[in-house]
Amino acid sequence: MTREIKYYEALREAQAQCLESDRDVVVMGLGVPGPTGVFGTTKNLVDDYGPDRVFDMPSSENAMTGMLLGASSNGMRPIMVHMRVDFAVLSMEPLVNQAAKWHYMYGGKMRAPLTVRMIIGQGWGQGPQHSQALQAWFAHIPGLKVIMPTTAHDAKGMLISAVRDDAPVISIEHRWLYGVSGAVPEEMYETPIGKARIMRPGKDVTIVAASYASLLALRAAEMLADAGIDAEVLDLRTITPLDRESIVASVRKTGRLVVADTGTAEFGISAEIVCAAVEGASESLKSAPRRIGLPSVPTPTSPALSEHFYPRAIHIAEAAAATLGTKVQLTEPATGKWHDVPDPSFTGPY
């Protein structure tokens, strides 16, 4: 019988095991050793591993990233945590100009085994500056690896892989996955970076997604199944290096593609995934691929607006049905009064 734990617990366990097994692992970030422990993901780690290894920082996102970069090229394997990717925007210089190019520009002599966890999310009026999803930025930068695990299992395994990887890895975690449970082995294990996973096999249409969008894709697949459409859901798990083969293989099989992402669609990661299919499987494509992502609008705060801003599973299902050209009746399960919380039990703020 496998144990079920929540996504945030899986992240915490991954960090605890990394701290336990490697003295050079440290975890740093605003609120990391604090009482709420970054939404529980670092809670009480400081009790077991001490304030030298699990520690807070000044609100200095730029230099603290550079600091850990320097630590990482001198024997450490640091994990940095940003409660919101919007704060990490201040650290683009050390991440992008430096860490990403660290190994390359010094002719292979330097390494930056740095893992940066960045939380993205939506809802409860996070608004324009607390809910961006910038995976496309990191994916565009050669030298970075970008992971977006969807399940608790992968959250643990991929974070462990990230910490052990000698490249800088950006881990993008969607808050609305934090409360989702899944089977997670207790021992330490790695989920490989760079391999997508078929979450649900199907033959009529491929839905490629990542992170919270993969959950939506699964729900969409259920709605589609009810309407007699057999969708395959490919969970990317890693954005770069992108697993083009898996995308191409699935599209070759189904001939149809929908891409779902939690970020802005325009110039976003979904565009690259469409290209991967078009470049690798154009002869198999029976209809034009479709993308589901955010419209090109800053995030509105009011729940009355964010309700129309965020796509839901039904929108993915509709897009998938449209690639088949068939008119089908899709039914969205009843939702609560509010669309701005992951589930009705949720109470703000966060």
Q: Does residue 130 have an active-site annotation?
A: yes
Q: How far is the CB of 81 from a second copy (least distance, A)?
A: 18
Q: In terms of DSSP bridges, do strands 205-209 and 54-55 run parallel, antiparallel, or are they unpaired?
A: unpaired
> Among residues 3, 34, 201, 267, which is the contact residue for other proteins, using CB under 8 A?
34
Footprint on residues 22-51 left by ligand TPP (CB under 6 A): 30
Q: Mark residues 215-244: x for contact with a second copy by CB under 8 A, - for none.
A: -------------------------x-x--
β-sheet with 205-209: strand ranges across: 197-200, 231-235, 205-209, 257-264, 290-294
Q: Does residue 61 have an active-site annotation?
A: yes
Q: How far is the CB of 296 from a second copy (least distance, A)?
A: 4
> Among residues 40, 87, 181, 188, which is the contact residue for other proteins, using CB under 8 A?
87
> Among residues 279, 331, 335, 348, which is the contact residue for a second copy, using CB under 8 A?
279
> Among residues 44, 62, 181, 284, which is the contact residue for other proteins, using CB under 8 A?
62
| Residue 36 touches which member of ligand TPP, a second copy, other proteins, none, C-beta under 5-8 Å by kind | other proteins
Q: How far is the CB of 50 from ligand TPP (least distance, A)?
A: 23
β-sheet with 77-82: strand ranges across: 54-55, 25-29, 77-82, 115-120, 169-174, 145-147, 238-240
142 burial type by CB count under 10 A (0-12 exposed, 13-18 middle, 19+ buried): exposed
Distance, CA of 260 to chain centre: 12
Which residue, judged by CB position, is nearest to ligand TPP in the bound state? 87
> Among residues 24, 62, 66, 87, which is the contact residue for ligand TPP, using CB under 6 A?
87
Q: How far is the CB of 170 from other proteins (least distance, A)?
A: 13
Catalytic position from the list 61, 173, 232, 272 = 61
3-state secondary structure 189-246: CCCCCCCCEEEECCCCEEEEECCHHHHHHHHHHHHHHHCCCCEEEEECCEEECCCHHH
| Residue 115 touches which member of a second copy, other proteins, ligand TPP, none, C-beta under 5-8 Å by kind | none
| Residue 139 touches which member of a second copy, other proteins, ligand TPP, none, C-beta under 5-8 Å by kind | a second copy
Q: Which stretch binds a second copy (CB under 8 A): 51-59, 224-232, 246-254, 275-283?
A: 275-283
> Among residues 1, 35, 52, 59, which is the contact residue for ligand TPP, using CB under 6 A?
59
Distance, CA of 266 to chain centre: 18
Contact call for residues 81 and 32 (beta carbons, < 8 A): yes
Please report whether residue 59 would count as binding other proteins according to CB under 8 A: yes
Q: Between 90 and 188, whose beta carbon lies closer to ligand TPP? A: 90
What are the residues facing 29 on neighbouring strands?
Answer: 81
The whole-angstrom separation of Cα 182 and Cα 211 is 14
The whole-angstrom separation of Cα 130 and Cα 299 is 9
Catalytic position from the list 82, 103, 130, 174 = 130
The whole-angstrom separation of Cα 205 and Cα 323 is 8
Distance, CA of 243 to chain centre: 15
The whole-angstrom separation of Cα 69 and Cα 112 is 6
The whole-angstrom separation of Cα 33 and Cα 29 is 8
| Residue 110 touches which member of a second copy, other proteins, ligand TPP, none, C-beta under 5-8 Å by kind | other proteins
Q: Active-site residues: which are they?
A: 61, 130
